[in-house]
Every structure is written in C-alpha cells, then in structure tokens.
Amino acid sequence: MKIKKFNKDEDYDRVINFLTEEYKNNKNMSCWLPARFDDLIFRIDTLYHDERGLNRSQDFTYIFEEDNHIVGLVVPDGDSFNSCIKSGYENIFSQMLDLSEKELLPLFEKNKDGSIDFLVISHDSLKYQADELKKRGYVRDKAEDYDNVQHPLDTNYIIELPKGYKQVYGEKLDDNMKAKACHYGFHPIDDDGILTGDFKEGKLAYQGRKKSRYYSDSFESLIVTEEGDICTYCFCYVDKNTSTAFIEPVCTREKYRKKGFAKQMLYGVINKLKEMNIENCYINSYDWRRKVYNAAGFETEDSIGFWYKKM
C-alpha cells in the first residue's frame, strides 16, 4: 500500500475520477460526492485559508494507492477526519487513523492544557469503523449529522410564496449582495439589513467556487422581495456525469425565518433539477435542519456520528 499527500496539480483529476466511480458503484454519500470535494477545496479552503488564515484541508489530504489505483482518501474538513474507502479495502481504515492521529494534529485547536479533542466523522452505516474507533478509545457524541437525498425525477412541486416574494436563480443579482446575504444567514448578529457596499467575509470563497469543474452546470436559488432584499439562499452543484446534485450551503436570514421560505426554495431547486434530468440530489444536515429538509421531500439516507478522543 502506497500513501502519498494530495497534490492538487498532480492528483485532482485522479481523485475526482475515484469519487465518481465510487458514487456510481454505491449510489450514496458514504463516499464523498465529487462535487462535495470541489466545494471543500475551492470554496471552504478559500474561506479558511485565504480569509481566516487557517490551514487548508487539501494540504492534509492523503491518498492510499494500490497498483497505482486510488483505494482510499483521508479528507479533513476543517478540524475533522473524514475518509473515503473503496469497497473491499475496509482494512485500511486502521492505517488511515494511524496516519491521521499524527499528521492532522495541526488542524485542531489546543485546549488550555495543551491537549486536543481529535474528531473523526463516520457514517453509522459503516459499522466496521465504529468498532475500530471504540477499540481505540473514541467516544461517539450525542450530536450527529444526516445525509439526505431527493429524487427530482419523481417530483413535481408547486411553488407557493406570499405576495411580494419571488424565487430567482441568481444570474442578475450582484455577487457581493449574495455573498453578504449568505453570511448573514449563518451569522445573524452581523446582519445590519444592508446588502450593498463592500464585504469581506466569504467574498473570496464565493469567487473561489467558480473554479469548480461543475460550476457551469450549477446554479444558485434565492427567494427575494419585490424590492430586491434577499431572504433565503442556496447553491446547487450539478454533476451530469453522476446525474447528481449537491446543495451547499443553505441559509435564511433571521428576519425571514419561520415563513417556510427554505422549503419553497428547495422545491424550486428540485423542479429545476428535474428539467435537467438529474436523478438524485443530496444535502447534508444537522440538528433542526433535518426536519426542514425532510419537510421539503428529502429522505434521510444515513446518520453520521462524531467520534472524539482527547490527545
């Protein structure tokens, strides 16, 4: 087994091809979607590194190879360990943990006593991973994420919005306004009600996403007022090769919450994906968001556990 550090110039296409084939074989998100990997290295890494001065996940991504073929990936997402493993190679999970417990430490913030809370993220359907983590002394947190899937070809939603609101797809709206509205959706305390003017947080990341190979087929969906104020926002990556879509992020500004806008916005996204003949659409959720996505027709496909060990 050969282990090498991911090099974007040399390995990007190989990794995308590996993830594409794994999805076609598994038809689920237990192995990362290619578009989700793009979101990490183009948008999230830009946000962490270029805007916040933190480490990039891609600099701590490792490839496991056999006979020059990728059989597994260690993919950190911020301060967490994630893995993608080809069926039949489950035994390398232990090697991945050995490597990560040494090489991924710089991604984690130290506690006052100098220790770190090392975090491993694992799908609950992959029981062999839970068994290995327990053996190593990891403890599963009560909190969890969820993979949710929609089947656009099986749907036909009617969009029902109150008078004075409409759904748009972002083409004619100012990039700075959209980036600002997205930030406000996640950080309500910053929302001053003004979407015009220069904005830093998330601006570079917004532009970085345009480097994704999936960007030309992808789209934004928003609900806006007649006056042009942005209420909700999401971005939908579209991968025609796998006939999948991946929605990330989704947000609603605080003053527009509890009006059902997120559900209606997602209905519009699914209708658009149906027109594009996309078979499956995925979204990741946590805590109360799962109920929102389930209400919009997404089915919970898998639960994801957070496993911690102090080091």
Tens-digit pLDDT profile for residues 164-183 = 999 999 878 888 899 999 99
Residue stretches of the chain with pLDDT short of 70: none
SS3 state of residue 108: coil
- The Cα 309–Cα 101 span in angstroms is 10
Task: Render pLDDT for 17-49 as a digit per residue (tens, 0 to 9).
Answer: 999 999 999 999 998 999 999 999 999 999 999
DSSP secondary structure, 123-147, as one string: ETT-HHHHHHHHHTT-EEEEEEEEE
In the prediction, which pLDDT does 219 show? 96
8 Å CB contact between 51 and 200: yes
pLDDT at 171: 75
pLDDT tens digit sequence for 196-212: 888 878 889 989 999 99
**What is the model's pLDDT at position 196?**
86
- The two structure tokens encoding residue 154: 């099986």
Q: State residue 279's pLDDT score.
A: 97
* pLDDT computed for residue 203 by the predictor: 87
Residues ≥6 apart with Cβ < 8 Å to 225:
164, 165, 231
What local confidence, expressed as pLDDT, does residue 160 receive?
94
Q: What is the pLDDT of residue 153?
A: 96
What pTM value is reported for the model?
A: 0.94
Predicted local confidence at residue 202, as pLDDT: 85
Q: How many CB atoms lie within 10 A of CB 81?
A: 23
The sign of the dihedral angle between the CA atoms of 43, 267, 305, 24 is: negative
Phi, psi of 43 (to 5 degrees): -95, -55
